[in-house]
A and B are shown apart, each in its own frame.
Chain A
């Protein structure tokens, strides 16, 4: 068990750390080719992370409607779930001093949660416009985590897909 907590800095230092954290984590996400390929972007407000999937022609699965490919929707939800869980996990590591932002910025990829299973519920078709998603960590255990994620387009109360996934957390090598 790790109990040591990072020493708090001044108000300015804490604010700067959070800004740097956002820059570093967005860079980490962009370093994943598949996330860059889909064009997923992240926006953090406090502890709330919103993933954005701008519409692109290449994401279409049904050209007659047209609608976003179901596989793209699944991938978007999974990327959101993994990124939300990774941020939670990495922030805890930052607090205990196990994560070094300098090494992260130098391109060292930390070990991240692995998807065990992922169940997607398709509620309505994804229209050819921008999509948004947010994940809620239902349980973050030391070995397993359970995450629920929702996606919508224009109207947040009309979800077009939701999913629940289970994840294997990175284990300490000792």
Chain B
């Protein structure tokens, strides 16, 4: 079990921006990835309300989507975002950790398709959802 925790930690530690956002990888298995981003004042988009900027949520969802591709059973050697469409449903609650869950639901030899949802403490009402297409590199 220690191995999995270490792999997850290394995945985040290897990405400077993910490390800087304080991302924590909770799940990385069979094309599903769960990553959380703790509330941080430096990520606020509206100083009047303390709500996190949509861009930070995008960065979280992009990272989570890439992780989902990387842990797909076909084992790609690398991936990059081709496109990502983000829908912003509501503001995240100030002070809440935001958690993204990404699923790589289809994979071809060259393209991976991902869906991702981000929630705060109100887990029934997503803050944002996104769908993306990713490159698949060096797959066997």
Q: In the assembled complex, which residues on chain B have CB atoms less than 8 Å from the CB atom of A117? A: 85-88
Per the 8 Å Cβ criterion, residues 49-97 of B in contact with A are: 52-56, 58-63, 66, 80-88
A58/B16 in contact, CB under 8 A:
yes
Q: How far is the CA of A59 from the CA of B54 in the complex (A)?
A: 16
A75/B15 in contact, CB under 8 A:
no
B71 CB to closest chain A CB, in angstroms? 17
Q: How far is the CA of A101 from the CA of B61 in the complex (A)?
A: 37
Interface size range of chain A in the complex: 35 or more
A119/B58 in contact, CB under 8 A:
no
Q: How far is the CA of A58 from the CA of B44 in the complex (A)?
A: 17
Per the 8 Å Cβ criterion, residues 107-146 of A in contact with B are: 109, 112, 114-122, 125
Query: Using a CB–CB distance below 8 Å, which chain B residues touch chain A?
Result: 14-18, 20, 41-48, 52-56, 58-63, 66, 80-88
Given pairs A33-B44, A34-B44, A71-B55, 4 additional interface contacts (CB within 8 A) = A58-B17, A70-B62, A109-B46, A115-B54
Query: Using a CB–CB distance below 8 Å, which chain A residues touch chain B?
Result: 31-38, 57-63, 69-72, 74-76, 78-79, 109, 112, 114-122, 125
